[in-house]
Amino acid sequence: MASPAPNRRDRPQSDHIAIWRHALHLLQDTLEPDVIKTYFKGTHAIEIRGGTFFVGVANPINRQTLLERYHQQVHQAVRDAAGRPLDIDFRVAPMPQQEQVSPDLAPADQDSSNMPLMGSRSQQRGRARHYPVLSPHTRFERFIVGNSNQIAHAAAERVAAKPGGDMNPLFIHAPSGQGKTHLLEAIAHRVIHDYRLVYVNTEDYVRGFVASVRLGSRPDFQEAFESAEILIVDDIEKIRTAEQAQEEFFNVFNELQRDGRQIVIASDMHPRRLMGLSDRLVTRFESGFLTKIDAADRALCHALLERCSSEAQVTLDADAAEAIVDRSAGSVRTLLGGWNTVRVQADIERVPVSRELVERSLSEHETRQQRPQVLQIAELIAAVSDVTGVSPQQLIGTRRTRDVTRPRHVVFYLAKEHLDKPLTQVGAEVGGRDHSTVINGHRKVAEALQRENPSPADRWFRQTVAEVRTRLGLIG
């Protein structure tokens, strides 16, 4: 007589689909029906690899919720169903067509493309919603407000409360690491369930556009963005070198703005300083509310460190905090990276966080006083553009009217005086000109600055050079 089959819980299972089916039934015994319906609908087993059981989920929101709230329950259910220890991880992935599950756990409609595919409002009911992957740490509640960012924060809050209002488009610019993306994601968190949101990084936008041209699906690509009720675009400076993508984005921008739909854009600099950006896009970006996030001051940096140390339950004295702030150079991202390095180092060495530990851990991080300020040609062009009102595109372009050539000569003069670069390189970066053009421009400005009886043109050169030097902190 054959011995009875062992209990399923005691028999290791190698079939990942069968394991997940069993795990789902176990979870139905421990979780509320609404939880199962909301967060486990559309889940499926992907594979078992390296001791990890990978579960596919319908969208990033469900993935984050499962990780934060139900990871332990899922881990235990899979362990019981498999009959052996397995780690758990979740991926956003469409369910294979051949995989069948019970009606209560049937998958929601999904779209497996990388780009959001959304139609007009009349079509939206039958279309899949595309949810961007948002960090749970980038909500408004976790954004620390200080003097450097309070206007940008208030503008973002206002847009999230009333999209399409008096701050449309909203353009936020700041150097990398100051919190632009945090504000963009905070808006997205606030509106994601009430509006058809499209959130995209410009690099992905350009790649998607190129792919749509190659595959002949440009109308679908355009519709994906023109159907947005709220469009959020990060790192718009990356569109400068893609002229065709600029043309497409110009059309999308006009379509959304005409219908009063909200546009939010972030960049690492003012739109007028983005060389290679078309003038008509610059004027569109300036047509709404434009705001800047400045470098974080010491008070803001200390407030951030206080919260970080409190959440990590790590004691951070004032002396150690001052050392971390001093090495942040006003960058929030650098500050947080430095803090994490120090915290982990303290944990590894099992020592308290001290100034000595900070200086040792961050020895390669130069202090604000140690960091050299190297002027770049792009910064010089941007400063001349700000002072004269002539766009960077015109400064590096071929136009030779007096209103453009004079500012261009200022660029050549200051480049020769203050940049440690060969004149051939300066000319190449200013529209591909040769070194003799740079020398000629420098000579004209130098003569204007030295003439004993200055003409109106000479006085213009003197005033412009002085103002640009002041803005850049240059010594004449």
Reported as a single tens digit per residue, the pLDDT across 223-277 is 888 888 999 999 898 887 788 889 999 999 999 998 899 999 999 888 877 767 7
Among residues 205, 148, 202, the alpha carbon closest in space to that of 179 is found at 148
Q: Which residues of 390-429 are buried (b: 16+ CB within 10 A; e: fewer)?
A: bbbbbbbeeeeeeebebbbbbbbbbbbebbeeebeebbbb
Give every CB contact of residue 51 below 8 A, 6+ residues apart in sequence.
85, 86, 87
Reported as a single tens digit per residue, the pLDDT across 331-360 is 788 888 888 888 888 888 888 888 888 888
User: Domains, the chain, ranges and CATH?
Assistant: 8-105 (3.30.300.180), 140-292 (3.40.50.300), 298-361 (1.10.8.60), 377-472 (1.10.1750.10)
Reported as a single tens digit per residue, the pLDDT across 88-110 is 989 887 776 544 333 333 333 33
Structure tokens given for 262: 């909200």
Percent of the chain predicted with pLDDT > 70: 86
Its pTM stands at: 0.56
Mean pLDDT over 366-386 rounds to 69
Q: Tell whether the model's pLDDT for residue 440 goes beyond 90.
A: yes
Q: Report residue 130 CA to chain centroid gap.
A: 18
Q: What is the per-residue pLDDT for 182?
A: 92
What letter does residue 108 receive in the DSSP assignment?
P
What does the alpha-carbon distance between residue 88 and residue 100 come to, in Å, rounded to a whole number?
22
What does the alpha-carbon distance between residue 392 and residue 447 come to, in Å, rounded to a whole number?
25
Q: What is the per-residue pLDDT for 414?
A: 93
Q: What is the per-residue pLDDT for 370?
A: 41
Mean pLDDT over 420-439 rounds to 89
Q: Quick check: 167 and 285 in contact, CB under 8 A?
A: no
Percent of the chain predicted with pLDDT > 90: 21
User: What CA–CA distances, in Å, run from 116 to 159, 320, 327?
Assistant: 22, 46, 40
Q: Which residues of 279-312 are buried (b: 16+ CB within 10 A; e: fewer)?
A: eebbebbeebbbbbbbbbeeebbbebbeebbeee
Q: Tell whether the model's pLDDT for residue 10 goes beyond 50.
A: no
Among residues 196, 389, 183, the alpha carbon closest in space to that of 289 is found at 183
What does the alpha-carbon distance between residue 6 and residue 464 come to, in Å, rounded to a whole number?
88
What does the alpha-carbon distance between residue 442 and residue 413 come to, in Å, rounded to a whole number?
4
Reported as a single tens digit per residue, the pLDDT across 389-404 is 888 888 999 888 888 9
Q: Quick check: 428 and 371 in contact, CB under 8 A?
A: no
Q: Quick check: 152 and 183 in contact, CB under 8 A?
A: yes
Q: What is the tally of helices (H) and strands (E) in the chain?
A: 20, 8
Q: Report residue 297 CA to chain centroid gap.
A: 21
Residue whose token pair is 């009102």 = 389
Reported as a single tens digit per residue, the pLDDT across 35-86 is 888 888 889 998 888 778 989 988 877 788 888 888 888 998 998 888 888 8
Q: What is the per-residue pLDDT for 131?
A: 57
Reported as a single tens digit per residue, the pLDDT across 16-37 is 888 898 899 888 878 888 788 8
Q: What is the per-residue pLDDT for 271?
A: 85
